[in-house]
Amino acid sequence: MTQQTTKPVSDVVARFIRYCSIPSQSDPFNAQQVPSSQSQFNMARQIQQELIELGAQDVTLDEHAYVTAFWPASAGAEDLPVLGFCTHIDTAWQSYGDEVHPQIKQYEGGKLIIGTDRHGREVYVDETTNPQLKHMVGWDLITSDGTSLLGGDDKAADAMIMSLLYRLKQDPELPHPRLALSFVPDEEIGHGASLLNLNKFGATFGYTIDGGPLGEFCYETFNAAEVTVQAKGLSVHTGTAKGALINASEALMKFNALLPAQERPEYTEGRDGFYYLSYINGNCEEAKAGYILRDHSKEIMNKRKQTCIDAAAFVNKQYGSEVITLDIQDQYFNMADVILKPENKHLIENARRAYKEVGVDMFYTAMRGGTDGAQLSYRGFAAPNLSACYYNGHGVREFVPVPELETMVDMLQHLVAIYAKPVE
């Protein structure tokens, strides 16, 4: 059961709905450019304008749609290390994301009907799809209208940071160190913070905000690689094709069949890694496929890469020529090796303390994905990941609970207050 709500909304909710209404999907088929889609500039300009209106310092928007800014420290905290936050402005490309029509519905138990998708099918969530709904009866939930994803990944986080700044502007006596802020493009296709100038960013350490349910804390991610597989065929009239025709699409199918089927995402969980076919297209003469490989273990990740190399070699041997070629690129690495160093322990303990101060028990998750923190940590900026409070990301069933969204702004207020004193 659902009931549309029309009551006044908080600052963070208003910002979130506004941001979700701005299409900004990244485009894996244009990944050679950053940003991969021009629409991301619309979101970047919105953030830039609001930062200026709030009074942030050194607000910049560069040619790659990276937005950066500073927020001055409260009195007495000017000489403390700069605390950084990083969120991303793009949304996932795997589902519809243009246009997005956010709505607020009150969950009254049972089935929450979000709407209908673009094929006319009912879109809903219930305690079967999301057991967490058991404790959300009576809550307002933000969803799309069913025709698209919502964009909580990661626009909920964008709204949280901006709402935190709004609070700091309203009450300058709230304690906090100097804050470095970054809003980056193309996280969903593996670029994210890769072009963020860390010297200009100026933070000593900090956090990304790109996680799931309230209380989630992640310092461990997958190791990630992208594999581009190309096949070159030879077209011959089918009536005289015997012994001559080489079908590039068939060659890709043979390659795919050699990867372990039981290690696809739909059959894995927890710390299981996987091979994921993200796209495939082609014809007889040429075909192309893209895979992503994921594993928490570097050793097993290397074995996955070798499996792809061996599969290509096997297919080429069958044809007697180099029909299949591979390009394997590392995307990011498991950031646990960095975050768990003794000098970074405060990032874990202070997050736990801030969650506790808003009545939430922090819980760890080994993320089955990645965050900008994976890239940043290996570039020298330790950045574990905090909750963004979205559920069912990357699809039409996505929702963000209003109480969790608002509580995370409270949590961030407590977190920056903790860093208004010297790190222990």
Q: Catalytic residue numbers?
A: 90, 187
Contact between 120 and 52 under an 8 Å Cβ cutoff? The reply is: no
Q: Checking DSSP bridges between strand 179-184 and strand 67-71, what pairing results, if any?
A: antiparallel
Contact between 26 and 65 under an 8 Å Cβ cutoff? The reply is: no
* Secondary structure of residue 277 in the 3-state scheme: strand
Q: Which residues contact 284 (CB under 8 A, 6 or more apart)?
A: 233, 234, 235, 245, 247, 248, 249
Beta strands in 39-138 (DSSP E): 57-61, 67-71, 83-88, 103-107, 112-116, 122-125
Q: Checking DSSP bridges between strand 205-211 and strand 83-88, what pairing results, if any?
A: parallel
For residue 331, what are its two tokens? Answer: 């995307």
Residue 62 burial (10 A CB sphere; 0-12, 13-18, 19+): middle
150-175 burial string, b = 16+ CB within 10 Å, else e?
Answer: bbbbbbbbbbbbbbbbbbbeeeeeeb
Helical (H) or strand (E) element with 414: helix 402-418
**Nearest to residue 38, comparing CAs of 17, 24, 57?**
24
Q: What residues are paired with 61 via a beta bridge?
A: 67
d(CA 142, CA 21): 12
